[in-house]
């Protein structure tokens, strides 16, 4: 009994010690956990602050610096300056490039100057051509206005033959085919069909046309207000603007129109001064 009691005391003491140790260990564990949690919180806070502080620097590192005033990349400029300081890049490189650009600009300027010179030459050439054309027109106009006929200059007969109807503007004359009396502003020179008709005087052809009464007609300006008209023609060999010499063939006598069928084949020759008919016999030699 005493032994049991004695043994029981030891057992209780052992259990009590174990309990104390257990409680002490749990308390120490809990305290250690709290301390580690506080430390972790502090570390996390510091890390967050460090991240926030480093963010601008990182942004500055990742984003190229651009000069707001000029738009140039400051990092690139700094890098170029560093390369120049290190000797890996020389200012002559930029000078060469500038000289090349200058030479290119000079070439472009020379090409532009050459083009302008070509244009100027073309303009001068066009002006020369226009001047020649104007001179040619002036010569033609002069040949029409100043062909050279002067009152009293002899005219040659365009064809040789009898006068079948005289000039008559002061009195009427008989027209056999029309069976009526009319004034006649020309002369009718009898000639065989196909006979050559020559210019009575030099001049310029002003008109070539067909008339129902006179057939094919050639009109010429002799100058100084004189004009000659040749009617009843065929095989006309001149055109408006042609300069004709005295005696040059301008066509042939044709078959007469129905208005002159009775009169037979002939040349209708009319001469005017300032638009008014004159007697051709006063001028023909």
pLDDT of residue 60: 45
Q: What is the pLDDT of residue 106?
A: 55
pLDDT of residue 61: 44
How much is the pLDDT for 257?
A: 97
pLDDT of residue 149: 86
CA angle 196, 202, 204 (to 5 degrees): 95
Interatomic CA distance for residues 149 and 272, integer angstroms: 12
Q: Which residues contact 245 (CB under 8 A, 6 or more apart)?
A: 199, 202
Per-residue confidence (pLDDT) for residue 18, from 0 to 100: 58
Q: How many CB atoms lie within 10 A of CB 222?
A: 27
> pLDDT by residue (tens digit) across 26-81?
555 545 555 665 555 445 444 444 444 444 444 444 444 444 444 455 666 676 66
Distance CA 220, CA 275 (A): 13
Q: Are 269 and 187 in contact (CB under 8 A)?
A: yes
Residues of the chain with pLDDT under 50: 1-6, 30, 41-42, 44-71, 94, 97-102, 104-105, 108, 138, 141-147
- pTM of the complete model: 0.51
> Residue 88: what pLDDT?
62
CB 168 within 8 A of CB 252: no
At residue 172, the pLDDT reads 96
**pLDDT at residue 251, as a whole number:** 98
Domains assigned to the chain = 163-282 (2.70.70.10)
């Amino acid at each position: 009994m005493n032994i049991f009691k004695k043994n029981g005391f030891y057992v209780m003491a052992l259990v009590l010690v174990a309990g104390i140790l257990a409680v002490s260990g749990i308390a120490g564990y809990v305290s250690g956990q709290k301390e580690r949690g506080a430390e972790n919180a502090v570390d996390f806070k510091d890390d967050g602050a460090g991240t926030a502080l480093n963010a601008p620097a990182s942004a500055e590192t990742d984003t190229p610096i651009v000069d707001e005033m000029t738009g140039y990349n400051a990092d690139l400029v700094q890098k170029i300056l560093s390369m120049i300081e290190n000797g890996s890049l020389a200012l002559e490189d930029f000078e060469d490039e500038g000289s090349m650009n200058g030479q290119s600009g000079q070439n472009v300027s020379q090409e532009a100057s050459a083009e302008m010179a070509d244009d100027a030459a073309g303009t001068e050439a066009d002006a020369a051509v226009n001047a020649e054309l104007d001179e040619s027109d002036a010569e033609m106009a002069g040949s029409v206005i100043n062909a050279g006929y002067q009152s009293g200059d002899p005219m040659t007969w365009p064809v040789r033959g009898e006068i079948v109807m005289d000039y008559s503007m002061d009195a009427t004359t008989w027209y056999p085919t029309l069976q009526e009396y009319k004034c006649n502003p020309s002369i009718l020179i009898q000639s065989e069909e196909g006979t050559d008709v020559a210019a009575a005087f030099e001049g310029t052809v002003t008109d070539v046309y067909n008339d129902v009464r006179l057939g094919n007609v050639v009109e010429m300006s002799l100058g100084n207000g004189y004009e000659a008209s040749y009617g009843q023609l065929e095989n006309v060999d001149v055109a408006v603007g042609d300069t004709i010499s005295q005696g040059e063939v301008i066509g042939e006598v044709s078959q007469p129109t129905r208005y002159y069928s009775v009169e037979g084949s002939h040349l209708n020759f009319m001469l005017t001064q300032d638009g008014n008919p004159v007697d051709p016999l006063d001028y023909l030699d």
